[in-house]
Chains A and B, each alone.
Chain A
Amino acid sequence: MGAARDRRRTLKLAAIGTTGGLFSGLFGVGGGAVMVPLLLLWLAYGEREAAATSLGAIAVVSAFAAGAQALYGNVDVLDALLVGIPAVGGVLLGTWAQQRVPADTIAFAFAALLVVAAIQLAVSS
């Protein structure tokens, strides 16, 4: 019984990883947007554990996807450093703040920023 449960759990993780990977490869994101809700929904994760565990998976998923994109000759290493290095500083700030700051205000501000970016992208295409 325990083994069957373990297998079902691994299958769910595989499905979440595959879906996250498809998203990651298609859109150039980590895939957390699909992995976090699925972890909450299918595996009864808490918010923080889902966010943290998805971030761990993202490190592997995005490395795979960056490698695959490099084979197509699409990766610009200098530009990746330009946004990636400041982001490492940002992530230290963010994980520190997560334990201390109510996240709702930041969630709203971030949502507004995404809407602006969406409009920019749609208009400029």
Chain B
Amino acid sequence: MIGAALIGVVAGVASGLLGIGGGILFVPALTILLGLHQVQAEATSLLAIVPVALVGSWRQHAYGNLRMHDAGVMGVLSIAGVLAGVALANALPERVLRIGFALLLLNMARQLVRRGMASRRVRLAQVPPGGAD
């Protein structure tokens, strides 16, 4: 249980830093640490994401990064995709869903490494020659 709560903190930090809702860590935490079935973990993760995304976007709004209109349009017009995705998650066998999620995790890791490399290059280029960090 403490492990799951800790993963919650880590997921929140990742959400604030990298702009994702935290579900990418909630789902594995709920299945691996709390023993939920994949589809229940996914459903529960979705509920946990709501307050995180609300607080995160409120902070981002304060920093002037949030384009409210675009976010609203994307959110409201997502409904058809949401219903199809949820129906699919409930129709697919547990094993297929788990393997799919594992692939999602690996792809996310790949994206993060690429983004990390890019921002690292930018950061290192900004340091003057011989200058300390």
Q: Which residues of A contact B (CB under 8 A)?
A: 10, 13-14, 16-33, 35-37, 39, 43, 48-66, 68-70, 72, 74-77, 79-99, 101-108, 110-115, 117-122, 124-125
Contact = CB atoms under 8 A, between A and B. Distances in A.
Given A94-B12, A120-B28, A121-B28, A56 B81 contact: no
Interface in B37-70: 38-57, 59-61, 63, 65-68, 70
A58 B53 contact: yes
B17 to A, nearest CB: 4
B22 A87 contact: yes
Q: Is the interface of A mostly helix, strand, loop or mixed?
A: helix
B13 A33 contact: no
Nearest to A26: B85
B105 to A, nearest CB: 4
Given A28-B41, A33-B24, A53-B67, 12 more contacts: A17-B74, A24-B46, A25-B81, A37-B111, A52-B19, A53-B74, A64-B75, A74-B39, A87-B12, A87-B22, A112-B109, A114-B109
B43 A87 contact: no
Interface in B93-115: 94-95, 98-113, 115
Nearest to B21: A30
A95 B47 contact: no
14 contacts: A22-B84, A25-B81, A26-B100, A28-B45, A29-B49, A55-B60, A56-B67, A62-B47, A69-B43, A83-B48, A84-B47, A87-B12, A90-B22, A118-B102
A66 B47 contact: yes
A94 B16 CA distance: 4
Nearest to A43: B70
Contacts of B120: 102, 104
Nearest to A59: B53
Given A29-B45, A55-B21, A83 B7 contact: yes
Given A27-B27, A53-B70, A76-B44, A94 B20 contact: no
